[in-house]
Amino acid sequence: MGGYLAHSPVADVIRSGRREDVTVTASPLTNSSIECGLIWLQADEDNTDSIYWGGPDGQYNALVPGQTIPLTISNTTKVYVRSRSGIQTVNYAALD
């Protein structure tokens, strides 16, 4: 994880959270807008299936349970998530 942050400005604020209601219908990562410069997105390790992430028009990038990815993006509401099946959980940390 440190390799990505080493090339970014030091974070002033870290906001973390989780969505425990990710279904097969895509929705924004957060209900309220959180401005940021980087998001760490993780499919919860206890999930029974994959999480897909992307924009509002398509979520084709998969995260298997426990997998984490950094996203350089300005707002948490620009990331859409959905599950492959069932109800899954996604964790995030938004860094300013």
Return the CATH number at 59: 2.60.120.10
Range of the domain at 60: 2-95
When divided into structural domains, the chain yields a total of 1
Could you report the per-residue pLDDT of 45-94, keeping only the tens digit for each? 999 999 999 999 999 999 999 999 999 999 999 999 999 999 999 999 99
3-class state of residue 89 by DSSP: strand
Q: Between these two residues, 1 and 43, which has the higher pLDDT value?
A: 43
What number of other Cβ atoms are within 10 A of residue 48's Cβ? 12
- pTM (predicted TM-score): 0.87
pLDDT of residue 12: 73
Helix (H) or strand (E) holding 4: helix 2-5
Q: Between these two residues, 61 and 5, which has the higher pLDDT value?
A: 61
Paired with 75 in beta bridges are 35
Model confidence band, residue 6 (pLDDT cutoffs 50, 70, 90): very low
